[in-house]
């Protein structure tokens, strides 16, 4: 049943993020006081910038825009509903100083600028929960076919970008170097920044020259990817044959029976807690391996999240984790994906500069970026089914999660597409796919820059 605005104003309905209207209004008033009222000669003087306080503030902003966005007819059906509205409204508020700088700084710390931040709880919980609970046979099938799927997406993006670029008088090499590489490079930190250093090393010029445009076109593509994620979600509802409803790999009946056996486990709070504690230890091991790898001066870097993916894959394949803990991990993943996504989208939005998008938003750049994103999506959807993947889930993970701004872009895309359980594949796209593009960029810059 479609959601409507009327139910939001019924004081007895628990529609505001599980809260009644009077309770939520009380929380909104407290948040407004803490955020906007100066005290003791300081802006936001009542703010105590600790984890739980920022969590509460972001939850209020997220619920406010999320519940409204889920009830705007066209927006909800085709743009991404509450999840995307939370992102855009938070971005506008952050960019145009509608929230004090003190609060924005605290949100930045909460989200990703300290060792103990929300993103490093959210992503590991989703990775462990999603990989650990995938049927082992299905997992093997996905690993074998997924890497070639990433390459198909990059080729499709290049073809789409070059074809559209020719219409605007852009040389194919220009499109590939300055549009395709930054968009498909795995984000800002893991993609655009190292690519700009490669470009500067090969040309002898300031890397900032390449990076300034790269980050702008990547920002445009990130927004296109988010909106496309919402459109693919809608397409899946209209054409069920194209989607696995959150499952990437086409599995047979026997695989589904094994998954049902795991899902039938009775999950208690202790199982949830055990899975969360185990996730922490696995993440510690992943970080340790990443540091050791870096200290050995290996020819390429492996991100700690990439090690996390590899460790959890190994645990699943070895079948060493009890079913109860797997069930607890699935509950953990569901909790973070379902009940904290608006919090995370608000944090991502407040850290997004809308002006970056506006500065690069010429008609030609917009259409070329659309051509690149749609080229990746089209190529993957055409070849996904023969490779035993569902077309929509394949396009979202191997396509859109390559064409965004890395970790935060993955969260936004998967949130808009309502496919948060695919975060592990999104991380493979951003990390392994991004590494593939870095190698490609090194070769292209070496030959043509």
Tell me the DSSP string of 198-250.
HHHHHH-S-HHHHHHHHHHHHHHHHHHHHHHHHHHHHHHHH-GGG--TT--B-
For residues 323 and 8, give the distance between their C-alpha atoms in angstroms, rounded to a whole number: 40
pLDDT category of residue 439 using cuts at 50, 70 and 90: confident
434 and 190 Cβ atoms separated by less than 8 Å: yes
Instruction: For residue 108, give both structure tokens.
Output: 């930045």
Q: What is the pLDDT of residues 369-425, one digit of tens each?
A: 999 999 999 999 999 999 989 999 999 999 999 998 777 788 889 988 999 888 888
Secondary structure (DSSP) of 331-395: HHHHHHHHHSHHHHHHHHHHT--HHHHHHT--HHHHHHHHHHHHHHHHHHHHHHGGGTB-HHHHI
Tokens representing 315 are: 């645990």
pLDDT value of residue 132: 85
Q: When comparing pLDDT for 77 and 201, which is higher?
A: 201
Cα 301 to Cα 195: distance, rounded to the nearest angstrom:
14
Letter string b/e over residues 153-171, b meaning 16 or more CB atoms within 10 A of that residue's CB: bbebbbbbbbebbeeeebe
* pLDDT single digits (tens) 245-276: 988 988 655 554 555 555 555 678 899 999 99
pLDDT of the residue at 251? 65
Q: What is the pLDDT of residues 330-375, one digit of tens each?
A: 889 888 878 888 998 898 889 878 887 777 778 999 999 999 999 9
Write the CB contacts of 174 (distance below 8 Å, at least 6 apart in sequence).
Answer: 165
pLDDT in the model for residue 190? 59
Mean of the per-residue pLDDT values of the chain: 86
Q: How many CA atoms lie within 13 A of 102 on its CB side?
A: 16
Neighbours of 96 (CB within 10 A): 10
């Amino acid at each position: 049943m479609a959601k409507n605005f009327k139910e939001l104003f019924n004081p007895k309905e628990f529609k505001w993020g599980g809260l009644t209207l009077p309770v939520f209004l009380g929380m909104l008033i407290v948040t407004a006081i803490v955020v906007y009222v100066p005290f003791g000669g300081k802006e936001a003087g009542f703010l105590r910038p600790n984890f739980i306080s920022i969590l509460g503030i972001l939850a209020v902003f997220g619920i406010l825009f999320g519940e409204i966005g889920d009830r705007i007819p066209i927006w909800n059906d085709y743009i991404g509903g509450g999840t995307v509205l939370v992102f855009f409204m938070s971005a506008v508020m952050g960019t145009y100083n509608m929230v004090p700088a003190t609060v924005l700084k605290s949100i930045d710390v909460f989200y990703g600028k300290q060792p103990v931040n929300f993103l490093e709880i959210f992503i590991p919980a989703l990775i462990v929960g999603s990989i650990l609970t995938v049927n082992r046979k299905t997992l093997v099938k996905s690993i074998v076919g997924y890497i070639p799927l990433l390459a198909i997406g990059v080729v499709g993006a290049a073809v789409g970008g070059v074809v559209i670029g020719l219409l605007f008088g852009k040389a194919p090499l220009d499109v590939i170097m300055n549009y395709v590489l930054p968009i498909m490079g795995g984000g800002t930190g893991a993609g655009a920044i190292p690519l700009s250093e490669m470009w500067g090393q090969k040309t002898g010029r300031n890397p900032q020259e390449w990076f300034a445009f790269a980050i702008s076109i990547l920002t445009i593509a990130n927004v296109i990817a988010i909106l496309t994620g919402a459109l693919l979600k809608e397409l899946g509802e209209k054409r069920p044959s194209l989607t696995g409803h959150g499952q990437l790999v086409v599995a047979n009946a026997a695989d589904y029976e094994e998954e049902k056996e795991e899902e039938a486990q009775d999950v208690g709070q202790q199982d949830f807690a055990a899975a969360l504690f185990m996730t922490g230890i696995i993440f510690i091991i992943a970080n340790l391996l990443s540091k050791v790898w870096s200290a050995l001066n290996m020819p390429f870097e492996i991100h700690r999240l990439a090690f996390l993916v590899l460790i959890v894959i190994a645990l699943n394949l070895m079948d060493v984790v009890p079913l109860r803990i797997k069930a607890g991990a699935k509950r953990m993943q569901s909790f973070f994906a379902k009940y904290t996504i608006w919090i995370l989208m608000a944090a991502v939005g407040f850290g997004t500069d809308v002006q970056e998008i506006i500065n690069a938003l010429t008609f030609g750049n917009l259409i070329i970026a659309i051509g690149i994103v749609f080229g990746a999506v089209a190529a993957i959807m055409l070849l996904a089914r023969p490779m035993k993947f569902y077309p929509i889930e394949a396009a979202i993970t191997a396509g859109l999660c390559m064409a965004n701004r890395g970790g935060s872009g993955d969260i936004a895309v998967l949130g808009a597409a309502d496919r948060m359980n695919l975060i592990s594949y999104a991380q493979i796209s951003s990390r392994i796919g991004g590494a593939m593009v870095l190698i490609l960029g090194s070769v292209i810059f070496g030959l043509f820059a």
